[in-house]
Structure 1
């Protein structure tokens, strides 16, 4: 199961009140995957001052603490897959969803637009 960017931020901060009981159960019982695009979005949020920690600090902590894994699918395949997701103009969301859809996996997200259009989104 892939994790959206806000999921990593909340896990890193320990803010479990943001998660539904179902989301907590999924996090505790599934393999946790992350699109490399999440790293870029985390770094962007750090650069503009919305996060106090950079992407490496967040991802390293979550790799060690809960075993998240970064997807290693070649970017060309993900870029081609992302063409199917023209419902969003957000490049971060488009690539994150493409990573999940390429592998036919679920995506844990509270993003309403993603949950509306990506049928394998969960919350």
Structure 2
């Protein structure tokens, strides 16, 4: 199974947060799962770090490798798809995740209830 994880899911995973459900934890840890982190997530975390709103490890990309998470780059096609999405969600980073999950055929893992309004395979955290 291929998963794309939302920013808060990545943070919960890296911080071993109890907010991450046992089901999601098992899915991510399953050796048969392929877990992707969008470049948009790294971008969002970097912006929030710069604004002092988020503590991000200096070795974030190394940590992704340690956890065997793959970075999903943003393509022009992903960008065009974002523009085709209904305006249920205003957050541009989340809209990119939805577009990427749709186009790549990935299941999106998130606790964001707004994602439920979109035609996307979703595992609620």
In structure 2, the residue matched to 1:39 is 42
In structure 2, the residue matched to 1:112 is 113
Q: Give the unaligned 5+ runs of structure 1.
A: none
In 2, Cα distance between equivalents of 1:5 and 1:19: 12
Please tell me whether the aligned partners of residues 108 and 122 of structure 1 are also in contact (alpha carbons under 8 angstroms): yes
What per-residue deviation string (whole Å, max 9, x for no partner) do you get for residues 13-52 of structure 1?
A: 221x111121111111211011110011111121122222
Between the two proteins, the alignment pairs up a number of residues equal to 119
In structure 2, the residue matched to 1:81 is 81
In structure 1, the residue matched to 2:29 is 28
- Which structure features the higher share of strand residues? 2
In 2, Cα distance between equivalents of 1:22 and 1:85: 29
TM-score (norm 2): 0.85
- Which structure features the higher share of helix residues? 1
| Residues 1:57 and 2:59 aligned together | yes
In 2, Cα distance between equivalents of 1:59 and 1:3: 15
In 2, Cα distance between equivalents of 1:67 and 1:13: 16
Q: CA deviation at 1:118?
A: 4.2
Tell me the secondary structure at the aligned position of residue 90 of structure 2: coil
| Aligned pair partner of 2:14 in 7, 12, 15 | 12
Tell me the secondary structure at the aligned position of residue 105 of structure 2: coil
Tell me the secondary structure at the aligned position of residue 7 of structure 1: helix
Q: Give the unaligned 5+ runs of structure 2.
A: none
